[in-house]
A and B are shown apart, each in its own frame.
Chain A
Amino acid sequence: ETGVTQSPTHLIKTRGQQVTLRCSSQSGHNTVSWYQQALGQGPQFIFQYYREEENGRGNFPPRFSGLQFPNYSSELNVNALELDDSALYLCASSLEGGFGYEQYFGPGTRLTVT
């Protein structure tokens, strides 16, 4: 059974640029959630995708967007990067919308915005 994978591991971008982060869910999981973890803080929920549809969103602006593909892998896109977007981005996969099922976290992508 393959676990949750994320790419890239690290990324450095300049303010104003756009970035795409990728997540492959664990085998059999159809739900992917994305979290942002700033340094020294707990992860914050960005949004969740279930069967290719956005299924819930946290308090993040529209420049944070996502996709889920038929194989249930997912992308997180961030436009017009700001310095405060520097963080560890975690994706987590689970079954059936997540409630009642554990979310399994990937290794994360460290984004630095300069």
Chain B
Amino acid sequence: ELKVEQNPLFLSMQEGKNYTIYCNYSTTSDRLYWYRQDPGKSLESLFVLLSNGAVKQEGRLMASLDTKARLSTLHITAAVHDLSATYFCAVVLRHGTASKLTFGTGTRLQVTL
């Protein structure tokens, strides 16, 4: 059974600092998503990573994928308060004839002044 683990589970960081969230998964997959979720809200898609070595950047967030190590990272550069949210990685697997997303445990990010 696919397991997806994120660390840390909770991250408190000061504005202006850099940090990385890690996402490890246990079964081969070549498609991984990062989502943002604000309290009480739905999931907002941030990145889709499709192949080994893929790197995508949007603003202060950069995501990468290493399929051989089964590892994805979400790097935050010069954090700002607006980035405070919970971040999930999710791995796509075939489930019979369906495809399902298996989500990580989530990383709750709190950016303080």
Contacts and interface: CB of A to CB of B under 8 A. Distances in A.
B34 interface: no
B103 A43 contact: yes
A112 B27 CA distance: 34
A55 B94 CA distance: 11
A90 interface: yes
B98 A48 contact: yes
A102 interface: yes
Nearest to B108: A40
Interface size class on chain B is: 20 to 34
B30 to A, nearest CB: 10
B52 interface: no
* Chain A residues touching B, range: 20 to 34
Interface string A68-105: 00000000000000000000001010000111101111
Contact of A42 (B41, B98, B100, B105): B105
Given A55-B97, A56-B98, A42 B42 contact: no
A43 B4 CA distance: 12
Given A42-B103, A58-B95, 19 more contacts: A40-B106, A42-B90, A43-B103, A48-B95, A48-B99, A55-B98, A56-B95, A56-B98, A97-B99, A98-B100, A99-B92, A99-B99, A102-B48, A105-B42, A105-B43, A105-B45, A106-B42, A108-B41, A108-B42
Interface of A: 33, 35, 40-45, 47-48, 50, 55-58, 90, 92, 97-100, 102-108, 110
Interface of B: 4, 31, 33, 40-43, 45, 48, 88, 90, 92, 94-106
